[in-house]
Amino acid sequence: MSILNSLQKSTIESLQVLYHQTFSEKDFQVNQTKPEFEGDYTVVMFSLVKSLKLSPEVIGNQLGEHLIKTYPEIFSAYNIIKGFLNLTIADDYWMNFLQQHYNDICFGKQAMNNKKVMVEYSSPNTNKPLHLGHLRNNFLGWSVAEILGANGNTVLKSCIVNDRGIHICKSMIAWQLFGNGDTPQSTGIKGDHFVGDFYVKFNDEYKKQVKELVANGMAEPEAEKEAPIMKATQQMLQDWEAGKPDVIELWKKMNGWVYEGFDVTYKRIGSDFDKMYYESNTYLLGKDIVQQGLEKNIFIRKEDGSVWIDLTADGLDEKLVLRKDGTSVYITQDIGLAQQKYDEYKIDKSIHVIGDEQNYHMKVLQLICKKMGLPYADDIHHLSYGMVELPTGKMKSREGTVVDADDLVDEMEKEAAAKTEELGKVKDFSEDELKALYHTIGLGALKFYLLRVDPKKKMIFNPEESIDFHGFTGPFIQFNHARISSVLRKNPINNDHTTGNSFLPLEKELIVLLEKYPSVIKQAGDELNPSAIAIYVYTIAKTFSSFYTEHSIANAESEEKKQLRLKLANMTAIVIKSGMQLLGINVPDRM
RNA sequence: GGUCUGGUAGCUCAGUUGGAUAGAGCAUCAGCCUUCUAAGCUGAGGGUCAUUGGUUCGAAUCCAAUCCAGAUCACCA
């Protein structure tokens, strides 16, 4: 049981004994004691005043007295300031805790429950390479999956690839027109970038054609429809849907190039999936559900044949679910895919990591599933995250302001290499070891940068300023892990129970923090929020760093003190490593 | 216009669901490496928590209104 739970429980029991009234954890608040006061945890008395009809000071005194008398193994002292009962936790309690967990690599993780969760993330389009926004999505999705696993869930990572549609045809057309038969192999360009370049080429040509038509007197909206390259693209989409062999062949070939490129990037950034879904296989799903909905009168067919759902009573709008030609739209596929996931895996919860620009869409999806009475409707959860913006505003591919994922990772690794060389602490590393280290540090900095911010909030990335390696960053945390590793390499730990020590303030601070790790994992899981982990791990590293500078471990005042500090350091290293792992970040033993 | 987010130090962000004098990092300034890794540590300056009301022992946090910024409301995905 956590110290917080023990504290709540003993408080409730004491209140029962003292006042013959039954309280629950929600009836009073427990916080960590502010550093300017004496004590470790504080119970706030004010909320008890009304029901007990006693002053906060009186309750605090009686409660404090009773607690230390009844639970001497937990509490050693108390004091009251205003309505705050500050409790000091017994040193023995901490000592036992440390002895029990200092070498426990599973500390903080929950036993398996029977829940199965699917986390869908990444969702790339096969017409362009991944960019900074995808990175936030990928890191979030992967980390959330990991965190849910640490909370005892069985987790499936999935990915829906948008591999068909008009945007894919655009790069196909452009390649036919301007490609001269070039391939990634012949040009030496990574497949996803190669195809992305043709997508850009399409837009350039399209703009040019529209401009020409307008110059010849056509109205702009009409010109946008009539541009030959656009008409060709639309024709190609129809051919694709009709299964025309040469179009299908081209489509397969170009998507194949993109996947080769994606594989490299995914491997590099540490994304992986248990299940891939392809829109080309799912885009027809959901139609039968629409049919059922029509029969139940949840959907309505308009005169032109299109099918709609009226959500105005729920504060939303009317939403189209089938076009008049009978083809399905995005939301229809999503309903179908949700059904398929449920049928296939019997998942208890389905988490969709999707940007907040699609909040409305996801709301509609959920509402439709609910109205259809689908059993999983309430278990669909949209993990909505804010866009990554530049100081100048949104990233726009048309204006060439998109920060490319591959380029960014390259830069981060280069930066890591430069810093490492400058410091010259790993001169004995082999070429391969150095490469691995640069990757660990560079990617660690990037992941931490994107994960330390609350997912819900949009964030600003300034490409002018490179991502920092000092302060509240991944490398700072990695550095502290390396420092601890270094100390532990040179000083063996004795497993005997360490006794007879009281804690210095920084030692106490560290152990109180370590004890909280399980609750942080739980919070991060409940909130689907990796930033809770990031902030926590940083706080641990920072506290350790102060402790490390202030007190010598190897040359402690006594052998007992040395053992205590070694155990503290060991547990700190384990928690840092474990927490960073939940973020998808590795920690080196040397850097 | 409707709906939904958000507004905290010069900048980027925290703030444990209502608790004690609102915290970090970056940037600025001043110190600290003959001892375990200085990607570090210590300290200083920097705030009308967008504004105004309300709720109560107590509000950055809850409620209302206003201002500002963004997203969305497609027979696009």
SS (H, E, C) A539-588: HHHHHHHHHHHHCCCCCCCCHHHHHHHHHHHHHHHHHHHHHHHHCCCCCC
- Nearest CA to the C1' of B77 belongs to which residue? A330
Q: Which residue has the higher pLDDT, A479 or A217?
A: A479
Residue A233, SS3 per DSSP: helix
Structure tokens, A510: 């560290």
Contact in structure between A494 and A394 (CB atoms under 8 Å): no
**A460 has pLDDT over 90:** no
pLDDT of residue A74: 95
Spatial distance from the CA of A334 to the C1' of B58 (Å): 48
Q: Which nucleotide is nearest to A358 (CA to C1')?
A: B72
Residue A302 is classified by DSSP as -
Spatial distance from the CA of A306 to the C1' of B65 (Å): 42
- Nearest CA to the C1' of B74 belongs to which residue? A320
Structure tokens, A308: 């709609």
pLDDT in tens, A122-133: 999 999 999 999
- Assembly ipTM: 0.96
Spatial distance from the CA of A338 to the C1' of B44 (Å): 57
Q: For the residues A267-274, what does the mean pLDDT come to?
A: 97
Architecture field, domain A408-582:
Orthogonal Bundle (1.10)
pLDDT of residue A158: 97
- Nearest CA to the C1' of B73 belongs to which residue? A317
Spatial distance from the CA of A157 to the C1' of B67 (Å): 44
H or E stretch covering A224: helix A220-226
pLDDT of residue A474: 96
- Strand B nucleotides, any atom under 7 Å from protein beta carbons: they are 2-6, 11-21, 24-27, 35-42, 57-58, 70-77
Architecture field, domain A3-89:
2-Layer Sandwich (3.30)
Structure tokens, A523: 């919070």
pLDDT category of residue A462 using cuts at 50, 70 and 90: confident
Structure tokens, A473: 């960053």
Q: Which nucleotide is nearest to A86 (CA to C1')?
A: B20
Spatial distance from the CA of A477 to the C1' of B25 (Å): 13
Averaged pLDDT of chain A: 93
Contact in structure between A94 and A508 (CB atoms under 8 Å): yes
Spatial distance from the CA of A51 to the C1' of B61 (Å): 25
Contact in structure between A336 and A285 (CB atoms under 8 Å): yes
pLDDT in tens, A276-335: 999 999 988 888 889 999 998 999 999 888 999 999 888 888 899 998 888 888 899 999
pLDDT in tens, A159-215: 999 999 999 999 999 999 999 999 999 999 999 999 999 999 999 999 999 999 999
Question: Where is average pLDDT lowest: A60-64, A112-116, A293-297, A578-582?
Answer: A293-297
pLDDT of residue A206: 93
Domain ranges of chain A: 3-89, 165-270, 287-327, 408-582
DSSP string, A133-144: HHHHHHHHHHHH
Q: How far is CA A133 from CA A142, A218, A397, A403, in A?
A: 14, 37, 12, 8
**A393 has pLDDT over 90:** no
Nearest to A214 by CA among A204, A225, A200, A203: A225
SS (H, E, C) A49-76: HHHHCCCHHHHHHHHHHHHHHHCCCCEE
Which residues are CB-contacts of A34 (< 8 A; sequence separation ≥ 6)? Answer: A42
Q: Rounded to two decimals, what is the model's pTM?
A: 0.96
Q: Which nucleotide is nearest to A123 (CA to C1')?
A: B77
CA distance A415 to A468: 10
**A30-37: long-range contacts at Cβ-Cβ below 8 A with a sequence spacing of 24 or more?**
A30/A4, A32/A512, A33/A86, A33/A87, A37/A79, A37/A81, A37/A84, A37/A86
Q: Which nucleotide is nearest to A85 (CA to C1')?
A: B20
Which residues are CB-contacts of A394 (< 8 A; sequence separation ≥ 6)? Answer: A387
- Nearest CA to the C1' of B58 belongs to which residue? A46
Q: Which nucleotide is nearest to A32 (CA to C1')?
A: B16
Q: Which nucleotide is nearest to A438 (CA to C1')?
A: B39
**Cα-only R_g, chain A:** 29
Spatial distance from the CA of A506 to the C1' of B41 (Å): 13
Spatial distance from the CA of A75 to the C1' of B20 (Å): 21
Q: Which nucleotide is nearest to A462 (CA to C1')?
A: B12
Q: Which nucleotide is nearest to A516 (CA to C1')?
A: B16
Structure tokens, A244: 């025309």
Spatial distance from the CA of A547 to the C1' of B41 (Å): 9
CA distance A233 to A198: 13
**A149 has pLDDT over 90:** yes
Spatial distance from the CA of A240 to the C1' of B28 (Å): 61
CA distance A529 to A536: 12
**pLDDT over 70 for what percent of chain A?**
99
Spatial distance from the CA of A208 to the C1' of B25 (Å): 47
pLDDT of residue A500: 65
pLDDT category of residue A398 using cuts at 50, 70 and 90: low
Spatial distance from the CA of A393 to the C1' of B18 (Å): 36
CA distance A452 to A444: 12
CA distance A548 to A348: 45
**A544 has pLDDT over 80:** yes
Which residues are CB-contacts of A485 (< 8 A; sequence separation ≥ 6)? Answer: A573, A589, A590
Residue with tokens 């059993």: A375
- Nearest CA to the C1' of B35 belongs to which residue? A555
Q: Which nucleotide is nearest to A394 (CA to C1')?
A: B70
CA distance A323 to A538: 51
Spatial distance from the CA of A534 to the C1' of B13 (Å): 12
**A392 has pLDDT over 80:** no
Q: Which nucleotide is nearest to A425 (CA to C1')?
A: B37
Say which amino acid occupies A92. D
Contact in structure between A257 and A191 (CB atoms under 8 Å): yes
H or E stretch covering A407: helix A405-423
- In the beta sheet, which residues pair with residue A42? A31, A86
Contact in structure between A341 and A282 (CB atoms under 8 Å): no
- Angle at alpha carbon of residue A165, lines to A160 and A167, rounded to 5°: 100
